[in-house]
Amino acid sequence: MDRPVTTLFMLMSVDGKISTGASDTLDVDRDFPVIPGLREGLHQYYEIEQTTDLWSFNTGRVQEKMGVNEKPEPAKTPVSFVLLDNHHLTENGVRYFCARSREFVLITTNHDHPAFGVKADNLHIIYQETLCLAEALHILKTEYGCERLTVQSGGTVNGLFLREKLLDHADIVVAPVLIGGKDTATLIDGSSLMNTGELGKLGVLKLTSCTVLEDSYIRLRYDILRSDPGDTQ
């Protein structure tokens, strides 16, 4: 394989939502800890997160919501971070990840991104005229030694990974809550399939484990198969 082995790792509601609402002021990391029935078992998700790959993929939009543009520089971790971002990270946000990461790789199509003005030995920029995730993943493996990558981005980018057949596994922690709302972000967002000719873009799953956690949380682990609408087996 000429790219890292990828695992989609997310916390979602029973109805597949990865946010508590359609506004950026609403977020599971911010809201679940104060909701009775959810806060009690939430620690399990973060404990599992600590066991994921040492390369982590996310987006600038998600990290902006997490407040990295205003945070002081953190302590170094053994994790290498990959962020897809065009305009959400400020220079402070870039420096935050340089301080936090073993290696920090930014993927961008913005030639004026603040990262170009930051000097750090562990900062690497993959600049593309047009976004190509497959090419970016190839570079991550061949130039930076990324063999396994955990994907924790938003629903739209998760959808790009899925439609471009760049996901190998899914590791989902399901919280005991129904959120609803057609505009609330889901595990996989982006353009809907419109005809049967697009069914090859589906991600058919093979369950590898199902673990009942405490406080009504569940962990589901899958291999992601390559769907073929012409395969009758």
Q: Which residues of the chain have pLDDT under 50?
A: 232-233
Kindly give, in sequence order, each residue whose CB lies less than 8 Å from that of residue 101, ignoring residues fewer than 6 positions away: 76, 77, 79, 80, 81, 122
Q: What is the pLDDT of residues 88-98, one digit of tens each?
A: 999 999 999 99
Is the residue at 212 inside a domain? yes
Give me the pLDDT at residue 232, please: 43
Among the residues of 83-154, which ranges form H helices? Answer: 91-100, 133-144
Q: Give the CA diameter of the chain.
A: 55
Residue 96 lies in a domain: yes
pLDDT tens digits for range 24-76: 889 999 999 999 999 999 999 999 999 999 999 999 999 999 999 999 999 99
132/226 Cα distance (integer angstroms): 20
Per DSSP bridges, beta strands 148-151 and 55-59 are parallel
Whole-angstrom Cα distance, residue 157 to residue 29?
A: 19
- Rounded CA-CA distance 4/144 in Å is 11
Nearest Cα residue to 221 out of 155, 158, 173, 163: 173
pLDDT for res 231: 52
Has residue 231 been placed in a domain? no
pLDDT score for 24: 85
DSSP bridge partners of 58: 83
* Residue 232 falls inside a structural domain: no
Domain count, the chain: 1
Domain assignment of residue 106, yes or no: yes
Domain membership of residue 233 (yes or no) is no
Kindly state whether residue 197 falls inside one of the protein's structural domains. yes
CA distance 29 to 3: 30
pLDDT of amino acid 228: 58
Amino acid at 29: D
Q: For strand 5-13 and strand 218-226, is the pairing parallel, antiparallel, or unpaired?
A: unpaired
Host domain of residue 80: 5-226
Q: Which residue do the tokens 């870039």 mark?
A: 94
CATH number at residue 165: 3.40.430.10
| Residue at 101 is within a domain | yes
How far apart, in whole angstroms, are the C-alpha atoms of residue 57 and residue 65? 16
Look up residue 52 and give its two tokens: 């994921």
